[in-house]
Amino acid sequence: MNALQVTGLIARHGRRAVLRGADLHVGQGSITALLGQNGSGKSTLMRSVLGVHPRTGGTVRVLDLPENASGPRVRERVTYVPTGGAVLPQETARTHFAFGARIYPRWNPQRALDTAAELHVPLDQRAGRLSTGQRMGLALAYALGSSTELLMLDEPTNGLDPDHRQLLAQFLVAYAAEGHSVLLSSHVLPEVEGLADHGAFLKDGRVILEADLDELRTQHAVVQAILPDVLPSGSIQRLSSVSGVRGFEVQGRTLTVHVQGGREALLAALANLKPVDIQIKPRPLAEVYDDLLGGGA
Amino acid sequence: MTQEPSEERGVLEWITPHVNPHSGIPIYIQIVQAFARAIQRGTLRPGESLPTVRLLAQTLRLAPNTVTRAYAELQRQGLIESRAGAGTTVLSRPVTQFTDEASRQALTDELHDVLHRMLASGLTVTDLRRLLDNFTASSTQDVL
């Protein structure tokens, strides 16, 4: 059973199509990252899953519920934390938790209190008077207290200082270690690297790639060759048609090639250039991310 | 957070610098290699415990699935065993045999990489053979 299965999701903001047939799945016990630039539709996707944002097409299947189920039976098994955290300004952390105990069948009061304590959230102060970071802390404590099988967090690290980001990562890991599933969005890959085992790359309203992130690391490599002489660009251009080659750059006698999948064809082609030395290195996932979604985020 | 026995705390402190989520090397492989090396060198001895998946994942802030995968691979290689109640421990008996074989395999893989690079950089098989002959000749002299 998947925690979440989204197929061909279409959603609009007014006349603009924000999601144009997005596919995504979150496996049970997985921490999945929904990656994309700002404005790529990450928030809309999460909101559409819950039905908070209307869907124009596609199907959503949450846990073992029927396709496109909605209402309380979804909300008591899935928690969603929007960017910045949504809290009731007139209520305190304590009254939030009392409310959570009423709606969530598996509410875990201890986890809510522990999370609040670690994130320095005062329990008896109205949420409207909390700092930005404390408000996010309260939203997280509430979400983790819910003990729902699926937790969706929209850019949860926004507004958290580095120490609290590390704590958040530890909370999410502990949560997933109990078999819960997590979907979190980010536009900064390094922030979720390691934390997420699976990734969905969202661009222009579609998931252009969904992959096991370690699998992706295995696939991509950098091959660097030192050539005997500076070569005419024509003989190097030929490399772009070699199977697996995703791009290359030349700096003097150094040729750097990005390769995906098997490296044999590339190594054979490079041998023809009579290189002085060749090195194969892992390619950081951040570079793969930039290639897929456009850099500069 | 949770209090762990000192033996495990040592392992956790020792493994932390061996795992870099940004390096581009699959993370589960980094964990496998770190433990395999530790077991081969005797840093971790037969019968000693590995941290639980949850504790290691939390310490390194890694998805639990990634750690589970690493432990499964170590188990497949015959280096560790997981038993309900007893946790995960370094295997006692077959370990020496396995490590010899595993380390020989790792060295062979390394040599293959180097040979690949040498061939790619224009050396011929004859060149390689001459290198190997020179090498054996000089190392025999050293021994004598």
- Averaged pLDDT for residues B123-144: 77
Output the pLDDT for position A174: 96
Least CA distance to A278: which residue of chain B? B117
Q: Which residues of A81-100 are buried (b: 16+ CB within 10 A; e: fewer)?
A: bbbebebeeebbbeebbeeb
The reply to whether residue A217 touches residue B27, judged by beta carbons under 8 angstroms, is yes
Taking alpha carbons only, the member of A9, A27, A141 closest to residue A81 is A141
Output the pLDDT for position B101: 66
Q: Tokens in use for B78? A: 């015959």
Output the pLDDT for position B28: 96
DSSP helix/strand/coil, B88: strand
Report pTM.
0.85
Per CB-CB distance under 8 Å, the chain A contacts of B66 are 194, 197, 214
The reply to whether residue A194 touches residue B61, judged by beta carbons under 8 angstroms, is yes
Provide the residue count of chain A.
Answer: 297
Alpha helices for chain B (secondary structure H): 6-15, 27-41, 53-60, 64-76, 95-120, 125-143
Least CA distance to A199: which residue of chain B? B63
The reply to whether residue B61 touches residue A166, judged by beta carbons under 8 angstroms, is yes
- Averaged pLDDT for residues B25-39: 94
pLDDT band at B117 (very low <50, low <70, confident <90, very high): confident
Select from A111, A186, A214, A281 the residue whose CB has the most chain B CBs within 10 Å, as the one to mutate to test that interface: A214
Looking at the complex, does the CB of residue B33 fall below 8 Å from at least one CB of chain A?
no
DSSP assigned state of B132: H
Output the pLDDT for position A231: 80
Distance CA A248, CA A252 (A): 13
Cβ pairs bridging A and B (under 8 Å): 100
Looking at the complex, does the CB of residue A256 fall below 8 Å from at least one CB of chain B?
no
* Greater pLDDT, A2 or B142: A2
Per CB-CB distance under 8 Å, the chain A contacts of B121 are 271, 274-278
Which residues of chain A have a pLDDT value below 70?
A: 295-297
Per CB-CB distance under 8 Å, the chain A contacts of B60 are 194
Scanning the structure block, which residue is given the tokens 């064809």?
A265
pLDDT exceeds 90 at position B8: no
Dihedral angle of Cα B103, B108, B114, B120, to the nearest 10 degrees? -150
* Greater pLDDT, B3 or A91: A91
pLDDT band at B95 (very low <50, low <70, confident <90, very high): very low
Looking at the complex, does the CB of residue A283 fall below 8 Å from at least one CB of chain B?
yes
Q: Tokens in use for B7? A: 């033996």
What percent of chain B has pLDDT above 90? 42
Output the pLDDT for position B120: 74
A22: β partners:
A9
pLDDT exceeds 90 at position B142: no
The reply to whether residue B64 touches residue A286, judged by beta carbons under 8 angstroms, is no
Per CB-CB distance under 8 Å, the chain A contacts of B61 are 166, 169-170, 173, 194-195
Scanning the structure block, which residue is given the tokens 């396995």?
B98
Distance CA A198, CA A183 (A): 9
Nearest to A197 among B22, B23, B63 (CB): B63
Looking at the complex, does the CB of residue B125 fall below 8 Å from at least one CB of chain A?
no
| Span of A190-194, B37-41, B118-122 with lowest mean pLDDT | B118-122
Least CA distance to A285: which residue of chain B? B24
Least CA distance to A282: which residue of chain B? B24
Nearest to A173 among B24, B26, B61 (CB): B61
Nearest to B61 among A195, A274, A283 (CB): A195
Output the pLDDT for position B141: 57
Per CB-CB distance under 8 Å, the chain A contacts of B63 are 30-31, 173, 176, 194-198
Output the pLDDT for position A6: 97
